[in-house]
Amino acid sequence: MRSLLSSSFATLALVGLLCLTLNASPARAVCSANNKCGRDAPCCSSSGYCGSSAEYCLANCNPIGSLSPSSCAAMPTCQNTHIDFTDNRKHWVNLKGFNGDASLAPLTLDSGNIKLTNEGAVMQLTKANQDVGTQLSTTRYLYYGEVSATFKHTNNAGIVGTMILMSPTHDELDYEFTTANRHEVQTNAFYRGQTSDNDANAETIPASAMGGKSFTTSDFHTYTIKWSPTTIHWSVDGKVVRTIARSSRRVAKTKKTAAHYAYPATPARVQLSIWCAGCPGNAPGTRAWSGGKPDWSKAEKVDGKQAFTVTVKSLDVKCDTPASIGSSPAMSFAGGALDSETGEPRVVPTKRKTTI
């Protein structure tokens, strides 16, 4: 079964969350491929605003809307990582004040609150932070490889839990947990944030494909995305539930674009989040996709406060970085002509700094 709403609103909704996280002012210049940033504010943020500080030039700075790809700080190259959140250790630094030095921590806390417990990191969504939610992001960029996260999310109307690979050009691979249905998960694959007429981006995976009637998202499960230059596999508890081949994503030449593969092919950060898609301020379609207005009486008590939660037990990242990057500690997007196969900026090794 395919979900048209998921395809239509997943990326738009996420960009809305990122925009709130950045707290971008409406007075900021908006940037895109056709409206690049100027010299005074050369970096195009992931939410589409121009600026010159770390919030804009780090954390998925978009090379396509920036003054030039080199306006963005270089991307720290992936390293194999295992994080056990049950060890009661804080594996992150706050995004605010982060300078891009990936050696400081494997993750940034972009917004929200997390409580460490013996079960893992409890990511909280409360009424107080419902406008931004809670989000963790890796400080390094995966350029092909495998990501597995073990977590549980008790689905409720209006509340969305996610595991996402998001690139600076808005290539995206994800799992999304939405509405009050605890017996299915949504998967998406987006190329530069684009949806498609036949909704080939989105697919809803029923419980029958993930272990049968006993499957519920409120139990711990391991969700995996294995991403290579030719194939993407989504797996739940080791069982492949969806596959996309790059060969199926061929796009014919048009008057505006050369023939290419609409297939995610740029370095991405891994992100885990919980946010309120059904809260006021979001578009009607986003609220409907999420199941409508949340019922806060169904939230659990965390430290005396009502909170919807995602509890993350572990995160594993296995890198399969292309040989073209080699052992370079950093990667960057190159200027000039786009890659003829992907239709995106070329990714190259660099000696430029990853810090601001």
Give 25: exposed, middle or buried? Use CB within 10 Å, 0-12, 13-18, 19+: exposed
Q: Is the pLDDT of residue 2 over 60?
A: no
Q: Is the pLDDT of residue 169 over 70?
A: yes
Q: Is the pLDDT of residue 198 over 70?
A: no
pLDDT at 195: 62
pLDDT at 39: 96
- What secondary structure does DSSP assign to 75-125, as a single string? EEBP--EEEEGGG----EEESTT--S-GGG-SEEEEESEEEE-SS-EEEEE
Q: Cβ–Cβ contacts within 10 Å for residue 174, how many? A: 24
- Please state, for a pLDDT cut of 70, what percent of the chain lies above it: 91
Per-residue model confidence as pLDDT tens digits over 10-57 = 444 444 454 444 444 446 899 998 999 999 999 999 889 999 988 899
Higher-confidence residue of 66 and 18: namely 66
pLDDT at 27: 62
Known catalytic membership, residue 172: yes
Instruction: Retrieve residue 185's tokens.
Output: 């998960």
Selecting among 55, 119, 146, 176, the annotated active-site residue is: 176
| Fold classification of 76-319 (topology level) | Jelly Rolls (2.60.120)
Higher-confidence residue of 340 and 92: namely 92
Q: Is the pLDDT of residue 201 over 90?
A: no
Contacts of 221 (CB under 8 A, 6+ apart): 150, 151, 152, 210, 215, 236, 237
Alpha carbons 242 and 227: distance in angstroms, whole number: 12
**pTM (predicted TM-score):** 0.92
Q: Is the pLDDT of residue 90 over 60?
A: yes
Per-residue model confidence as pLDDT tens digits over 103-117 = 999 999 999 999 999
| Sign of the C-alpha dihedral computed for residues 278, 279, 283 and 284 taken in this order | positive
Alpha carbons 338 and 323: distance in angstroms, whole number: 19
Alpha carbons 214 and 1: distance in angstroms, whole number: 19
Closest Cα partner for 67 from 47, 84, 54, 51?
Answer: 51
Give the CA-trace dihedral at 18, 181, 197, 284, to 10 degrees.
Answer: -60
At 137 the three-state DSSP class reads strand
Alpha carbons 335 and 353: distance in angstroms, whole number: 17
Per-residue model confidence as pLDDT tens digits over 283-310 = 999 999 999 999 999 999 999 999 999 9
Per-residue model confidence as pLDDT tens digits over 311-347 = 999 999 999 999 999 999 999 999 888 888 888 899 9
Q: Is the pLDDT of residue 8 over 90?
A: no
Q: Where are the domains of the chain?
A: 76-319
Beta bridge partners of 262: none
Instruction: Retrieve residue 162's tokens.
Output: 């996610």
Selecting among 55, 119, 146, 172, the annotated active-site residue is: 172
pLDDT at 194: 80
Residue 343 identity (one-letter amino acid):
G
Known catalytic membership, residue 300: no
Q: Is the pLDDT of residue 222 over 70?
A: yes
